[in-house]
A and B are shown apart, each in its own frame.
Chain A
C-alpha cells in the first residue's frame, strides 16, 4: 500500500506504551502459579502484542483487503501445520520416546 495513510505519532506512542505494559504483565504473571493457564495467558498476551504491532506499526489497520488476506492467510496456514501435526500426537496411544 503506498503511503496514503499517515498514522499520527501519538498513536505510535500509545501502542508502544501498551506493548511495554503487556510485557511487564506477562513477566509478572509468569511467577504466579496458574497451572496450565500460565501458557494460555502468556500466549494470549503475545498474540495481543503481535496484533498491535501488525495493525498499527505495520499499518494493516489501514491497508487493503489483499493485505489482510495475506496476513490472515499466513497465520491460518501455520495453524494448519501445527494443528494437524498436533492431531497426530494428541491421538497417539503410546507414550513418548523417553
Chain B
C-alpha cells in the first residue's frame, strides 16, 4: 500500500509567492478577528465563579437565567454544557460580594426556583467512601437539580495565569529560535518561527471568530502545537541540509522542492495519525477536553501548510544557500606551501 506515488519532485517553490500571500491573508484575517471580537476568556484568566448543575429533565435556560438575575450579579452567562440537562452558569467577579460564598448562594437560588431547599446530606459512595454534599430536595423527596462542579478563581490569580501564559509563550519562542539557530542556521530559525507563530495566530483567530472559550487547556494545546509544528519544519530543513550535501548540481529551490516532495508521505501520514488520536479525544473526551481537542485539530491541519510550505518559502526568500549549511571544503590548498599551484 503506497498512497504517495509521486513520479518526480513537485515544483513547490515556483509558487512560493502564492503560498505566502495566502498565509498573509489568513494571518491578517485572524488578527482582525482577534482585535475586533477578542478572545472569549474563561474565568481562569478573568476571575469569577462557574457552576455546573444538572437538572433531571431538559433544562429551561430562561428560568435559570431569571433566577440568577434576581441576585443582581450583573452580566451572567447561562448555557447548556454537554447534554441538554447540564447547565453552566458563569458569574463575573464582583467587588462587594465575598467570592467564595457566591457558588453556594447561586445554588440555593436555583434550588428555590425549582421549589426545593438545600441541605447537607451524608452518603456513602458505591466505592465505600464517606461523603457529604449539599443536596437540593423538594418536599416530595425529589432532587430536581444537582450540583456537579463549582469553580471560583479570584481576580489576582486570573491575572497571574494570564501573565504566566504569556511568559511561557515567550520562552518557547526564544528557546526554539535558539535551538534552530544552533542546529541549522539563523535564517531557518527565523523562517520556522514566523511560519509557526502564524499557525498559533490562526488558531487564536478561529477562537475569536467562533467565540469558543479560551481556557488554560486551550493555552496548553496551543503551546504543544507550536512545539509540534516546529517538528515539521525541522524535518524539512533536515532534508534540505541533506540535499545540499548530496545533490551538488541542484540549486536552492530545486533542493527545497526535493526535500518537501520526499517528506510529503511522512508528513501526511504523521499528521493523519496524530489527528486520529485527537479525533478520538474530540469524540470521546467529553466537554472538558473538547476545546483542547479543537485547538489541537486546527493546529495539526494548518500546521501542515505553514510548516511545510510557508517555512521553506520564507527560508528561500531570506536567501538560504548551500554554504550556510554545508561547510566548504577547506583543503583547497595550504597558502603557506611554496609549491602551491605548481603543476608538472
Please say whether chains A and B are actual partners in one complex.
no
A residues in contact (CB < 8 Å) with B: none
